Each structure stands twice: as structure tokens, then as C-alpha cells.
Chains A and B, each alone.
Chain A
Amino acid sequence: MSADADARTRPRRLTIALAGNPNSGKTTIFNAITGTRQKVGNWPGVTVEKKEGQIEGFGYDLRIVDLPGTYSLTPFSIEEIVARDFVLDGRPDVVIDIIDASNLERSLYLATQLREIDCKVLFALNMADLARSRGLKIDAVKLGELLDLPVVFTVGNRHEGIDELLRQAIALAETGTLPPQKRRVRYTQDIEGAIAQLRAFLDTRGGDALGYNPRWAAIKLLEDDQIIKQRLTERAGEAAAGVLEEARRLRRQLADRYDDEPEIVMTDERYGFIAGIVREVQTATTRQRVDMSRNIDLILTNRFLGFPIFVFFIWAMFQLTFALGAYPMGWIEAGVEQIGRVLDLWLAPSLLRDLIIDGVVSGVGSVVVFLPNILILFFCIALFEDTGYMARAAFLMDRIMHLIGLHGKSFIPMLMGFGCNVPAVMAARSLESEKDRVLTILVTPFMSCSARLPVYLVLAGTFFAAQAGTVIFVIYLLGIVIGMLSGRLFRKTLLRGQDAPFVMELPPYRVPMAKSLVIHMWDRSKMFLRKMGGVILVGSVIVWALSAFPRQVPYHSDYSALERAVAEHYQSRMAGATGTEHPLLAAERDGALEDLRRQKRAEHTRLSYLGRIGQFIEPVFRPMGIDWRGGVALLSGVVAKEIVVSTMGVLYGADSDDQNALGKALGAAGMTPLAAAAMMVFVLLYVPCLATVAAVRREAGNGWMAFSVLYSTVLAWVAAVAVYQGGRLMGLG
């Protein structure tokens, strides 16, 4: 074959798109085809995940594009628009439609829509084994004959039929002309008449400019498809107005005749067409066999057991994430410290060394340390998703979430927020409706993440001693309540409108595949590292620079002279002491020197740009009973909450890093319990960290990011001031 010879010299490049319903096993087939050679990104302009794989095989360069799983190709969700646009404008050479054999009717609904577009389609009849065990037998040969397309049996998770599928796809791509469709959806006479009329109209008025199959374009215009209408206006210019007017007229006519919207009538007719095919190719024997999924659900969504089990799973997830994650976290922490120490020895004292150690290493270290948590958390989430439990969680929680204007699926991102807001904001992707997604993203930061806990521990531990636990619990609760109230508020004002319907499939439970779990987990973690690492790096370098400059400050006292004096003082004492006393004296001396250095550092920070900013903005923090040092700590906390405690340590001149020492220093500096409470409230509510801000920007855009930052900061200030001033009025201060 000449094509083969051609391929040997330069492999031909083919684009194959995978389409199919959610839960049809599409991802499994995609993984089986591409293995680990896949690239995960986003479809341009939207947050829908785009997966692509590049493989070489059969003498071809194959680019496999995984389209979002959809039930249809109407333009009612981003996923559907993305999938349809790729088939229309991305010009794939072949579309493989994954047909879920145990759900033939619904799979064929998407298939008929693909067929109407007039692209090269072949079917992967997937999970036929499962269908057979449920008593459904499908005549694949007949199905292929009826619809004039190749049908290949596949079992994705056992890699069966994958090679054959690719071979058939390539063969189809290489056929010159489209095979004729003997059997296609025929609508009733009235509708067919309207289609023909509109088509004739299109032919004379810019239908060519649109570039789509004319019958399909006419059908879409009759269905009042906003995107095709818009595209027609863009591409056909002035001619479009006439076509749109005609379409409107025909739509009205049809609506009158059927007493219903034409698109609904047409959907019904497509189903009628499908019903005919299903009757011919599918034979159902003993239907209701034991349904494993149903049995599992008898327990997992049981009226009494459902919630306790759900709570247990969530508890187990957090245990795994934080208890198990603590070990590798410790190792990474030690590793980062070690790197700092080694660099400390290697590099001569210089500005560059400070930048590398205090800025870059500690900044990046503070993020990398969360990697184990993130990995485990994402693994658990992937496990929930891949087994099918996630849909059940949404099923259980929807009632509660709906009360606060959210969706059942919002629960998982909010829950993850208690661990880390960054993956939580990213997890909001699982929400289909744009409004629900934005709402969830706005509310999630009020869930108190683990990085805020150390701040509470220091403040509550110092000022509320015995009641510390209760106080911290109240803070967490406050976050939840404020999140709920904000959710309701946004739903009533900014994100008003119809709730997205909660029509959701509860897919059968499946045993997850290790490979798929790992791919899922790693893709998301990679995104966390890449995007957030950059932000944190820049942020920590900025905070470091602000606290390090100007280099030369007019110190209050001459620290070098003081250091020398201390050194001399101990030298003389050690000269007169016995050998056994030497180590004790040396330790005492080192302590005194360390104290001096800390005082010097604190003074330097006070005189640095960061300190000056802190004193400049002190009036902002005064009303909540916090002095400039607390203000600076909170300001640096914008980068990451982990920095708050360490900054306070430096500024208040605590003589060691542990909580007690810092607590004492805070008390000595005149902080009151009321001010500590106000500070905790502020920490709970204001911008969680730069990484979260970056995630919000990425997921919801600049506008919502700005709103989120502004809203949470203003709210934090108002709440903290209310706590402090209110408390004082009640005589608590």
C-alpha cells in the first residue's frame, strides 16, 4: 500500500477524539491507549480538564484527545460546548464514541448527535461483559450495519480490543469519503419540512461561511442553539439576520403545531429512532439479576447508616492525610533544614546567601512540606471518584448544602478546605454549573485550613489556657457559619438565578484501577507544585527583601560591642572556673549571645521596610487591639499562614521558637486575651495565602479573585474589630 510506504518515510499524523457519556469507561480506554504518555491541561479559556496523549503505532503518529464526558451535544454545559467545538472545529480525523453496553439507549443518544454532525465515527462497545452479566446481549454486527459504522468490542480495564479499535480508527480515517448513512434520524414531516426550508435559506445566505453540514446547521438553528446562532452572525455577517429571522418564524410555527418547544419534540423523535435500533440489536434475558451496586447502596446510602459511614470515611481521609502525612512531612522538613544548613556552611555570608537561604529555600520549603498531605488527600479524592462514592456523598449531602444555596457536590471542596484551600479551590471543578462553582470557590477559604492552626495554638494556648480547645473549636465553627451566611448572601445577590438542577447519575460502584488513581493524584499534585510553587517563591522573596532592606540601619545600641563584652565576660569567668564548670558556662555564654542576636534581628526588622510598613499601617490594626508587630505578622501571613508564627517570633523577640516562649513574649508585650481573640478571628477570615489567591484567579478569573480578596479582608477587619471593641464594651478587655 502506498500509504504504508509513505508512513515509513514520515509517519502520518492522525487526530483521534474520544467521546462518550460520563461513566462509560472512557477514561479507562484513554488510559489503556495512551498509558502514561498523557498531557493534562485545560481547554482554552475554560476550566474543563483536557487530556491528550501522543502515541506512535501502526506506522502513524496518533494524537488522542479525550473529550469531556457528556450526555449530549447541546450547548448547555461547558463540557458539552467544549466537546462539540472540538468535533466541529478541531477537525479530528476520527471520533471514537464509547458506547456503554449496559446503557445502550443513552449512549446512542450522544451517538446520533455525533452522526448528525457528519464526522467519521466508530463505536467502541464497552463493558459488554458487564451488560451480559445483567442479561443484555447486543448484536454488534447488526448495530454496525444499521448505522453504517465499525463497531469494536472493548474491555478497557483488561486492555481488550484496544489494538483492534485503533486499527479500525486508522482505516476509517484513511477512507476518502464518508460512508453514506442509510439510516439516520428522520423527524416528522412538519419538522423535516422546516429543516428543508431553512436549509435552502442557508444555502443562499451565508451557510457556506458557517462551514458546517447544512442539514445539521439548520437543525441547530431550529433548536435555537445560541452558539450556532452567534457563530452564524460572526461568520456570515449581514446575511445572518435574515436566516435568524426565518429560523425564528419556523420555530414559532412548529411550537404552535406541537404545543411544545421544537427542541423537545426533536429530542423525543431522536429517542424514537434510538428505540427502534435498540429493539433490533439488543436482547434482554433474565433482567433483574443481583445488582452489586444496589446491594452496596443498601448500606452506604441507608437512611440510618448512610451518614455515620460517610462521616467515618471523611474522618479516615483526614486521619490518613494528616496523621500518615506527618511522617514524610517531618522528613521533608528535616531535609529542607539540612539544605539550609549545608548552604549556610558553603556560602560566604552575603546578601545572595541570605536571599537563597531565607528567601528561596525557606519559602519553597514551606510549600513542598505540604506535598505529602496533598498527595494523600488527592489520592483519597481520586479513590472516592473512581469507585463512584463521590456521587453518593453528593446524594447524602445535597439537602444540607442546598439550604445554604450550594450544591451537594460543593461539600467535598469545602471539606478539603480544612486541609488546604489550594486543592479545595481546584476541587470545585467537579461542579457543573458555573454559578455553583464560583460560589463554592468564594466560600471555601472560610474553612480554616491546617496552616492557620499553629497561630490559634499559640494565641489560644497562651491566653485561654484551659479553654484553648473550646476556643479553637469556636473559631472553626465561626468559619463554617460565616461561609454558610456568605453563601446565602452571594446566592441572593451576586450569583442569583435558578439553581442548577441536581440531576446526577449514580454510577455503578467499580473497583478502581491503581494506574488511574495514580495518574489522577499525580496530575493534580503537579499542578499544585508548579503553579503554587512559583507564587510562594516570589512572595517569600518579596517578604524577605522587605525585611532585609535597607541593609544598614541606625541601631539603637552597638551590638558588636555588646557581643564582644559578653564574650570577654565569659572568657574571664571561664579562666577562673574548674574544668567541670566549663561546658555550663559555655552554654550560658552561647545563650546570651543568641539573645543579643535576636534583639538585633528584632530591631533590624523594626527598622526595615517591612517594619516601617507595619508602623505605617498600625492605625489599621489598632482598633482590633493589635500593635504594629502583630500587623506585620498578619501582613506577611498573606504569603502563607505558616509565616505568621515565625514572624511574630522574630518581632516579639521570643527567646526560642517554641510556643510557650512566644506566648510569654506576647503577654510581656501587652497583648490581651481579647486582642488575641480578635487576631484569631482575623487570621481565620482574611486572605488564606497567596497560593489560594492564585488558585482562585486560575479557577474563577481576575474579577472573582479581586472580589474574594476584598470581601474576605474587609469582613476579617470588621469581625476582628467587632470582637475587640464589643468585648471592651462588655468589660472583657
Chain B
Amino acid sequence: MNLSELKEGQRATIVRVGGSGALRRRLLEMGLRSGAQIRVEKYAPLRDPLELVTGGCHVSLRVEEAAQIAVDHVG
């Protein structure tokens, strides 16, 4: 499944980061790389973008960008 399918409060492990070069690198720099533990903190009031927490740091990204990240749902 991909990250954009997760609901608020759900946790997951990143399996693979896809997407275009710039986006991918940006995500990697922010610590969103395969193996990283994430939790979806919330969706914005208009359901886009979403906020997630990884390693104590809050990052927001658009749903279409989150759809490029494959994850394993852990609970």
C-alpha cells in the first residue's frame, strides 16, 4: 500500500520512495527513506496535504506526493 492510503494516527514503515528526482531527493533529505518509521499525524482540513511524524520531526506533504511512497502498515 502507499502512504496516502493511511488514516490519521496509523503507523507504517517506508518500503520504497518513488517519484521524480527532485521530490525523491527532498524526501530522502528530510529522513523519509526506506526503513524509516512514520506515523500519519493528521490530514489538513481540506484533506490535503497531510502531516506525518518521523524521528520526532513533523513533515507535511501533498497527498499526490505521499502516493509515491510505498509503506508497510504496522498498526
> Given the known A-B contacts A261-B21, A301-B42, A501-B26, are A399 and B48 also in contact in the complex, defined by CB atoms under 8 Å?
yes
- Whether A504 is near chain B, meaning CB under 8 Å from some CB there, is yes
In contact, A267 and B56 (Cβ under 8 angstroms): no
A-side contacts of B31, CB under 8 Å: 105-106, 109, 271
In contact, B27 and A400 (Cβ under 8 angstroms): no
Closest CB of chain A to B22's CB: distance in Å?
6
B-side contacts of A500, CB under 8 Å: 22
- Whether A461 is near chain B, meaning CB under 8 Å from some CB there, is no
B-side contacts of A294, CB under 8 Å: 41
A-side contacts of B22, CB under 8 Å: 76, 498, 500-501
In contact, A102 and B62 (Cβ under 8 angstroms): no
* Contact with A503, one of B21, B23, B46, B56 (Cβ below 8 angstroms): B23
Closest CB of chain A to B32's CB: distance in Å?
8
A-side contacts of B27, CB under 8 Å: 501, 503
Interface residues of A in 498-542 (CB under 8 A from B): 498, 500-508
Closest CB of chain B to A572's CB: distance in Å?
78
Interface residues of B in 1-53 (CB under 8 A from A): 19-31, 33-34, 41-49, 51
* Contact with B28, one of A267, A307, A508 (Cβ below 8 angstroms): A267
How many chain B residues touch A (Cβ–Cβ < 8 Å)?
34
- Whether A263 is near chain B, meaning CB under 8 Å from some CB there, is yes
Identity of the chain B residue whose Cβ is nearest the Cβ of A506 in the assembled complex: B58
> Given the known A-B contacts A498-B20, A502-B49, A502-B62, are A395 and B26 also in contact in the complex, defined by CB atoms under 8 Å?
no
- Whether A362 is near chain B, meaning CB under 8 Å from some CB there, is no
B-side contacts of A507, CB under 8 Å: 58
In contact, B45 and A307 (Cβ under 8 angstroms): yes
- Whether B55 is near chain A, meaning CB under 8 Å from some CB there, is yes
Report the bound CA distance from A391 to B57 in whole Å. Answer: 14
Report the bound CA distance from A402 to B47 in whole Å. Answer: 13
In contact, A301 and B65 (Cβ under 8 angstroms): no
* Contact with A301, one of B30, B51, B56 (Cβ below 8 angstroms): B51
Interface residues of A in 219-247 (CB under 8 A from B): none
> Given the known A-B contacts A263-B25, A301-B44, A498-B20, are A395 and B55 also in contact in the complex, defined by CB atoms under 8 Å?
no
- Whether A303 is near chain B, meaning CB under 8 Å from some CB there, is yes
A-side contacts of B34, CB under 8 Å: 268
Identity of the chain B residue whose Cβ is nearest the Cβ of A432 in the assembled complex: B26
Identity of the chain B residue whose Cβ is nearest the Cβ of A498 in the assembled complex: B20
Identity of the chain A residue whose Cβ is nearest the Cβ of B31 in the assembled complex: A106
Closest CB of chain B to A352's CB: distance in Å?
58
Identity of the chain B residue whose Cβ is nearest the Cβ of A113 in the assembled complex: B29
In contact, B29 and A71 (Cβ under 8 angstroms): yes
A-side contacts of B47, CB under 8 Å: 399
Identity of the chain A residue whose Cβ is nearest the Cβ of B22 in the assembled complex: A76
Report the bound CA distance from A74 to B25 in whole Å. Answer: 9
Report the bound CA distance from A400 to B59 in whole Å. Answer: 19
In contact, A503 and B61 (Cβ under 8 angstroms): yes
> Given the known A-B contacts A72-B29, A271-B33, A503-B30, are A304 and B57 also in contact in the complex, defined by CB atoms under 8 Å?
no
Interface residues of A in 296-324 (CB under 8 A from B): 297, 301-304, 306-307
- Whether A396 is near chain B, meaning CB under 8 Å from some CB there, is yes
Report the bound CA distance from A505 to B30 in whole Å. Answer: 8
- Whether A398 is near chain B, meaning CB under 8 Å from some CB there, is yes
B-side contacts of A391, CB under 8 Å: 60
A-side contacts of B33, CB under 8 Å: 267-268, 271
A-side contacts of B20, CB under 8 Å: 498
In contact, A505 and B57 (Cβ under 8 angstroms): yes
Interface residues of A in 433-461 (CB under 8 A from B): none
In contact, B48 and A505 (Cβ under 8 angstroms): no
Report the bound CA distance from A504 to B57 in whole Å. Answer: 11
- Whether A342 is near chain B, meaning CB under 8 Å from some CB there, is no
Report the bound CA distance from A532 to B18 in whole Å. Answer: 46
In contact, A76 and B25 (Cβ under 8 angstroms): yes
Report the bound CA distance from A505 to B27 in whole Å. Answer: 11
Q: What is the 8 Å Cβ interface bit string for chain A, positions 40-76, against chain B (1 contact, 0 not)?
A: 0000000000000000000000000000000110101
Known: A301-B44, A503-B27, A504-B60. 12 other contacts (CB 8 A): A74-B25, A264-B24, A264-B28, A297-B51, A307-B45, A395-B60, A398-B48, A408-B49, A498-B20, A498-B22, A503-B26, A503-B30
The residues of A with any CB-CB pair to B shorter than 8 Å are 71-72, 74, 76, 102-103, 105-106, 109, 134, 136, 261, 263-264, 267-268, 271, 293-294, 297, 301-304, 306-307, 391, 395-396, 398-400, 402, 408, 498, 500-508
Please name 17 pairs of A and B residues whose Cβ atoms are closer than 8 Å in the assembled complex, sorted by A.
A74-B25, A106-B31, A109-B29, A134-B56, A136-B56, A261-B21, A264-B28, A267-B28, A267-B29, A267-B33, A301-B51, A399-B48, A501-B23, A501-B27, A501-B61, A502-B62, A506-B59
